[in-house]
Amino acid sequence: MDLTNSKTPIPMDSKIQKLVILFVFEKMAIPLTEATVLDVCSSENDWLSYMECKQYLSELVDTNLVYRVPKSECLNITQDGISCLALFFTRIPSSIRDEITAYARDNRMRFKKRQSYFCDYSKNADGTYTVIMKINNESTTLMELKMVVANRSLAKFMYKSWVDKASQTYALLHDTLLD
Protein backbone atom coordinates (compact mmCIF):
# COMPACT_ATOMS: atom_id res chain seq x y z
CA MET A 1 0.00 0.00 0.00
CA ASP A 2 1.44 3.37 -1.04
CA LEU A 3 1.05 6.04 1.64
CA THR A 4 3.13 8.70 -0.07
CA ASN A 5 0.03 10.69 -1.05
CA SER A 6 -1.77 10.46 2.29
CA LYS A 7 -1.60 13.52 4.48
CA THR A 8 -0.22 13.02 7.94
CA PRO A 9 -0.62 15.93 10.33
CA ILE A 10 2.60 17.37 11.66
CA PRO A 11 2.70 16.70 15.41
CA MET A 12 1.99 19.95 17.26
CA ASP A 13 1.35 20.80 20.87
CA SER A 14 -1.94 22.37 21.95
CA LYS A 15 -0.60 25.94 21.87
CA ILE A 16 0.48 25.60 18.25
CA GLN A 17 -2.84 23.98 17.34
CA LYS A 18 -4.68 26.95 18.84
CA LEU A 19 -2.45 29.26 16.82
CA VAL A 20 -3.41 27.30 13.69
CA ILE A 21 -7.09 28.02 14.40
CA LEU A 22 -6.35 31.71 14.95
CA PHE A 23 -4.33 31.76 11.72
CA VAL A 24 -7.28 30.25 9.84
CA PHE A 25 -9.55 33.04 11.13
CA GLU A 26 -7.02 35.69 10.18
CA LYS A 27 -6.44 34.34 6.66
CA MET A 28 -10.12 33.68 5.92
CA ALA A 29 -10.85 37.27 7.04
CA ILE A 30 -14.55 36.53 7.56
CA PRO A 31 -16.53 35.24 10.53
CA LEU A 32 -16.92 31.46 10.38
CA THR A 33 -19.38 29.04 11.93
CA GLU A 34 -18.01 26.39 14.26
CA ALA A 35 -18.95 23.75 11.70
CA THR A 36 -16.95 25.60 9.03
CA VAL A 37 -13.87 25.83 11.25
CA LEU A 38 -14.13 22.12 12.03
CA ASP A 39 -14.52 21.28 8.32
CA VAL A 40 -11.63 23.48 7.25
CA CYS A 41 -9.19 22.34 9.94
CA SER A 42 -10.03 18.65 10.20
CA SER A 43 -12.19 17.36 7.34
CA GLU A 44 -10.93 19.29 4.31
CA ASN A 45 -7.37 19.53 5.65
CA ASP A 46 -5.41 17.53 8.20
CA TRP A 47 -4.20 20.41 10.31
CA LEU A 48 -6.00 19.20 13.47
CA SER A 49 -8.13 16.28 14.55
CA TYR A 50 -11.86 16.98 14.81
CA MET A 51 -11.99 16.55 18.60
CA GLU A 52 -8.90 18.66 19.25
CA CYS A 53 -10.20 21.39 16.98
CA LYS A 54 -13.57 21.42 18.77
CA GLN A 55 -11.88 21.54 22.19
CA TYR A 56 -9.37 24.25 21.25
CA LEU A 57 -11.98 26.38 19.54
CA SER A 58 -14.03 26.31 22.74
CA GLU A 59 -10.93 27.24 24.76
CA LEU A 60 -10.18 30.14 22.40
CA VAL A 61 -13.71 31.46 22.98
CA ASP A 62 -13.34 31.01 26.76
CA THR A 63 -10.07 32.99 26.76
CA ASN A 64 -11.51 35.77 24.54
CA LEU A 65 -9.14 35.16 21.64
CA VAL A 66 -12.20 34.26 19.54
CA TYR A 67 -15.71 35.65 20.08
CA ARG A 68 -19.24 34.75 19.07
CA VAL A 69 -20.64 37.31 16.64
CA PRO A 70 -23.87 38.73 18.16
CA LYS A 71 -27.12 37.51 16.59
CA SER A 72 -25.20 35.00 14.50
CA GLU A 73 -23.89 31.46 14.61
CA CYS A 74 -20.47 32.75 13.56
CA LEU A 75 -17.20 33.14 15.41
CA ASN A 76 -14.38 35.54 14.69
CA ILE A 77 -10.93 36.41 15.99
CA THR A 78 -10.73 39.18 18.62
CA GLN A 79 -8.16 41.95 18.75
CA ASP A 80 -6.42 39.99 21.54
CA GLY A 81 -6.39 36.96 19.25
CA ILE A 82 -4.82 39.03 16.47
CA SER A 83 -2.18 40.35 18.90
CA CYS A 84 -1.43 36.86 20.20
CA LEU A 85 -1.11 35.53 16.67
CA ALA A 86 1.18 38.40 15.68
CA LEU A 87 3.55 37.49 18.53
CA PHE A 88 3.61 33.74 18.03
CA PHE A 89 2.57 32.86 14.44
CA THR A 90 6.15 31.85 13.58
CA ARG A 91 5.69 28.84 15.87
CA ILE A 92 3.25 27.41 13.32
CA PRO A 93 5.29 25.33 10.86
CA SER A 94 5.81 27.35 7.68
CA SER A 95 4.43 24.53 5.55
CA ILE A 96 1.10 24.73 7.41
CA ARG A 97 1.06 28.55 7.23
CA ASP A 98 1.57 28.27 3.47
CA GLU A 99 -1.23 25.67 3.16
CA ILE A 100 -3.65 27.80 5.20
CA THR A 101 -2.83 30.92 3.19
CA ALA A 102 -3.38 29.12 -0.13
CA TYR A 103 -6.54 27.41 1.13
CA ALA A 104 -8.02 30.70 2.35
CA ARG A 105 -7.22 32.46 -0.92
CA ASP A 106 -8.86 29.66 -2.94
CA ASN A 107 -11.92 29.08 -0.73
CA ARG A 108 -12.85 32.31 1.09
CA MET A 109 -15.66 33.25 -1.30
CA ARG A 110 -17.15 29.76 -1.22
CA PHE A 111 -17.46 29.91 2.58
CA LYS A 112 -18.70 33.48 2.52
CA LYS A 113 -21.50 32.48 0.14
CA ARG A 114 -22.31 29.34 2.10
CA GLN A 115 -22.69 31.33 5.30
CA SER A 116 -24.44 34.32 3.76
CA TYR A 117 -26.97 32.36 1.70
CA PHE A 118 -28.86 29.88 3.89
CA CYS A 119 -31.49 27.48 2.59
CA ASP A 120 -33.40 24.59 4.09
CA TYR A 121 -36.67 22.77 3.45
CA SER A 122 -39.10 20.66 5.44
CA LYS A 123 -42.14 18.52 4.70
CA ASN A 124 -45.56 19.83 5.68
CA ALA A 125 -48.44 17.75 7.02
CA ASP A 126 -50.29 17.99 3.69
CA GLY A 127 -47.33 16.53 1.74
CA THR A 128 -46.08 19.86 0.38
CA TYR A 129 -42.68 21.29 1.31
CA THR A 130 -41.74 24.65 2.80
CA VAL A 131 -38.47 26.06 1.52
CA ILE A 132 -36.83 28.73 3.70
CA MET A 133 -34.22 30.88 1.99
CA LYS A 134 -32.20 33.57 3.78
CA ILE A 135 -29.55 36.11 3.00
CA ASN A 136 -27.51 36.98 6.08
CA ASN A 137 -24.76 39.44 6.75
CA GLU A 138 -22.48 39.19 9.77
CA SER A 139 -25.06 40.33 12.31
CA THR A 140 -28.56 40.18 10.83
CA THR A 141 -30.85 38.57 8.28
CA LEU A 142 -31.24 40.86 5.26
CA MET A 143 -33.97 38.80 3.64
CA GLU A 144 -35.97 35.70 4.53
CA LEU A 145 -38.23 34.09 1.99
CA LYS A 146 -40.54 31.12 2.63
CA MET A 147 -42.17 29.31 -0.24
CA VAL A 148 -44.45 26.30 -0.28
CA VAL A 149 -43.83 23.94 -3.18
CA ALA A 150 -45.72 20.88 -4.32
CA ASN A 151 -43.07 18.19 -3.86
CA ARG A 152 -39.63 17.26 -2.58
CA SER A 153 -37.93 17.43 -5.97
CA LEU A 154 -38.91 21.11 -6.33
CA ALA A 155 -37.73 21.79 -2.77
CA LYS A 156 -34.39 20.10 -3.51
CA PHE A 157 -34.01 22.04 -6.74
CA MET A 158 -34.56 25.34 -4.93
CA TYR A 159 -32.20 24.25 -2.16
CA LYS A 160 -29.43 23.49 -4.65
CA SER A 161 -30.05 26.67 -6.68
CA TRP A 162 -30.21 29.15 -3.81
CA VAL A 163 -26.49 29.88 -3.35
CA ASP A 164 -26.06 30.72 -7.03
CA LYS A 165 -29.29 32.69 -7.37
CA ALA A 166 -29.66 34.43 -3.99
CA SER A 167 -28.08 37.74 -4.97
CA GLN A 168 -30.11 37.90 -8.22
CA THR A 169 -33.31 37.12 -6.29
CA TYR A 170 -32.57 39.81 -3.73
CA ALA A 171 -31.82 42.40 -6.44
CA LEU A 172 -34.98 41.50 -8.36
CA LEU A 173 -37.20 41.77 -5.26
CA HIS A 174 -35.50 44.97 -4.12
CA ASP A 175 -35.83 46.65 -7.51
CA THR A 176 -39.42 45.45 -8.02
CA LEU A 177 -40.60 46.59 -4.60
CA LEU A 178 -38.85 49.96 -4.73
CA ASP A 179 -39.84 50.74 -8.32
Contacts of 159 (CB under 8 A, 6+ apart): 119, 120, 121, 131
Q: Is 33 exposed, middle or buried (0-12, 13-18, 19+ CB in 10 A)?
A: middle
- Does 6 score more than 50 pLDDT? no
Specify the amino acid at residue 136.
Answer: N
Q: With CA atoms as reference, report the closest residue to 29 among 118, 136, 138.
A: 138
Cα 98 to chain centroid, rounded = 20
d(CA 117, CA 166): 7
Length of the chain: 179
Find the mean pLDDT for residues 78-102.
Answer: 95
Residue 25's pLDDT is 95
- Does 106 score more than 80 pLDDT? yes
Cα 154 to chain centroid, rounded = 26
Q: What is the pLDDT of residues 8-49, one digit of tens each?
A: 455 678 899 999 999 999 999 888 889 889 999 998 998 999
Residue bearing the bigger pLDDT, 141 or 38: 38
Strand partners, 66: 77
Q: Domains, the chain, ranges and CATH?
A: 14-114 (1.10.10.10), 116-178 (no CATH)
Q: With CA atoms as reference, report the closest residue to 112 among 163, 146, 161.
A: 163
Q: With CA atoms as reference, report the closest residue to 117 among 168, 173, 71.
A: 168
Cα 100 to chain centroid, rounded = 14
